[in-house]
Amino acid sequence: MTTKSHISAILKTLPDKSGVYQYIDKQKSIIYVGKAKNLKKRVSSYFNKKQTNNKLCVLVNKIVDIKYIVVDNEYEALLLENNLIKEYQPKYNVLLKDDKTYPWIVIPKEDFPRILTTRKKNFPNALYFGPYSSVKTMNLIIEIIRELYPIRTCNLLLSPENIAKGKYKVCLDYHIKKCEGPCVGYQSKEEYQKNIEQAIHIIEGNIKDVLKELESEMFAYSKAMEFEKANEIKIKLDLLKNYQSRSTVVNPNIHNVDVFGIAEDNNTAYISYFKVMNGAIIQSQYLEIKKRLQENSKELLEWGVIELRKISQSKTQEIILPFHLEFNIENVKISCPKRGDKFQLLQLAQRNALAYKQNIQLKKTILEGNRSRIHVLENMQKDLMLPVLPTHIECFDNSNLQGAYAVSAMVCFRNAKPSPKEYRHFTIKTLTQANDYASLQEVLHRRYSRLIQEKIPLPHMILVDGGKGQVSAAYETLKQLGIENQIGLFGIAERLEEIFRPNDPLPLYINKKSETQKVLQHLRDEAHRFGLKHHRQLRSKSTFKTDLTQIKGIGEKTARKLLKAFRSIEKIKQTPLEELSEIIGKSKAENVYNYYRSSKPQNEESRLK
């Protein structure tokens, strides 16, 4: 019998009932698992119509056999489909991207149970609560519980026999009133268990019940004139109410509800899940589902609902969704609100699904960017014949104006990207006239002698703005410091964008459009921009000094006072003597007033000439 006739025979015998179908290929591997409200209609649709989707065409062509399992309803079919996909991992099914191990709160089955956290369910017969997508939220709950109740944190085996034998002694927690000493029999098992039960209520979000019980205890102590104990309970009440107010997001009457949101792109669905108790979100979870065969939003959300409820072990009796699904869960109400507090919760879930999607996409972009930068660095290492990846590069550029205001700038690139925090300015100290080579040598010596002295890691590469002369001058300085073999040194000549290295009269041949050339040009241009900015600031500052401070009796402090009062030199020139006197005194004011009045005609004459 041919494959086609075999498939036709199966299609004719399929039942009109809910169930799960499995497609099998030549290697007898399950390549797809699906669920259906009506097996006959659903499975036949793959073969009775022309498929427009390429992936579906490939899938149908690979099918050599079909198996199916009949169930009572579509919800059971969905559960079975979920289990089979997890077991067989079929090639063409949606891929659940939830490989993280989320933390749980666990209460082991012990005579005096502890409250612990775990990422693996290693405790037999223990109570597990979670999982928690946020470790911070989980730790906050445990912190609140330990503030409210003296629950032990030790690892002692507190069996009745060990306590009776007096094996243990109280620890620091007992002395600071964080534990009541069950290890030595100071606290009964019944009293300790009552604290654990109230802690479980808080973990489950049933804070109302705990508040009622604490309030009744407080009033009982107050009635019995035990005001210190009543005050202790009041402190606990305030702490718990504060925690409740921070957790409440909608109407506190919304109780025991699961809320789901969904966001999509072309290849993936992102599901958000909130568990709400008494108007507070006590648990949140996220799921990423990879699309395989153009699954629609309803199918993807069905998957998300089943998977996330299974992970969180949810038994809520109401589910809030952005749209109706094609199945019902026994004793569970499914609603799609359009207004009110439940709609606000749904909108919050939708916003979180969108935020989760954007976060995942941003991480992918960053990872791709990192991979791209590593590729660039590998090319640079190859093109420049460096022994290591140049992840740390420093570039130097000099600026001066006819020998005056000589400065140098250093920029730093980390992983082929600017690192502005590590940029440095240098004012040339040893020269009085223009000398580009000597300026470069002074700055390099100052920079790297300090790094050596302070034992700071040296860069993998240095780039200087200039040709053979600048590279030779820089090499001499590195040689004096004994680091010429530890750092790659290169120069970039501006006219032809040629790259030079020490002891080589010919430039390196590098493709002018290569990534290496672009990074080197970016380094040079950034150093030039940064140095020019500092150079202009220095000139501007100096210009200010030569204008105001050359007046007799006017120092920098007085000049700053004048500028602060009048904002500009032009305004100072036009200000009457009386106003100047109020700011800097009569004697200095006369000097400023007379200086600008006497120098004005002379300045105008010089401009006319």
Q: What angle do CA 113, 114, 119 make, to 5 degrees?
A: 120
Is 539:401 a contact under the CB 8 Å cutoff?
yes
* CA–CA dist 70, 13 (Å, integer): 13
Q: Which of 317, 320, 325 is nearest to 335 (CA)?
A: 320
Distance CA 328, CA 321 (A): 13
Task: Kindly report the number of other CB atoms within 10 A of residue 433's CB atom.
Answer: 10
Angle (CA) 492-395-491 rounded to 5° is: 20
Number of Cα atoms under 13 Å in the Cβ half of residue 192: 20
pLDDT exceeds cutoff 70 at 295: yes
Cα-flanking dihedrals φ and ψ of residue 406, to 5°?
-70, 125
Mapping DSSP to helix (H, G, I), strand (E, B) and coil, where does residue 335 land? strand
Neighbours of 18 (CB within 10 A): 23
Which token pair is 506? 């010919």
Segment (H or E) for 290:
strand 280-290
pLDDT digits (tens, 9 = 90+) for 185-224: 888 888 899 889 888 888 877 777 778 888 888 888 888 8
CA nearest neighbour of 304 among 292, 293, 294, 312: 312
Kindly tell me if the per-residue pLDDT of 583 is higher than 80.
yes
Q: Respond yes or no on whether the N-terminal peptide bond of residue 131 is cis (omega within 30° of 0).
A: yes
> Bigger pLDDT: 51 or 301?
301
C-alpha span between 236 and 211 (Å, rounded): 9
Higher pLDDT, 371 or 304: 304
Cα gap 503→48, rounded to integer Å = 77
- Residue 528: what pLDDT? 87
- What is the per-residue pLDDT across 478-532, written as a single tens digit (0 to 9) for each? 999 999 889 999 999 877 788 998 988 888 888 888 888 999 999 999 988 888 7
d(CA 342, CA 335): 9
Q: Which domains does the chain have, with CATH numbers?
A: 3-93 (3.40.1440.10), 104-247 (no CATH), 257-359 (3.30.70), 392-540 (3.30.420.340), 549-608 (1.10.150.20)
pTM value?
0.49
pLDDT digits (tens, 9 = 90+) for 346-399: 888 898 888 888 888 877 777 666 677 888 899 899 889 899 999 999 999 887
β-sheet bridge partners, residue 153? none
Decide if 106 contacts 142 (C-beta within 8 A): no
Q: What is the DSSP letter of 456?
A: P
**pLDDT attached to residue 125:** 82
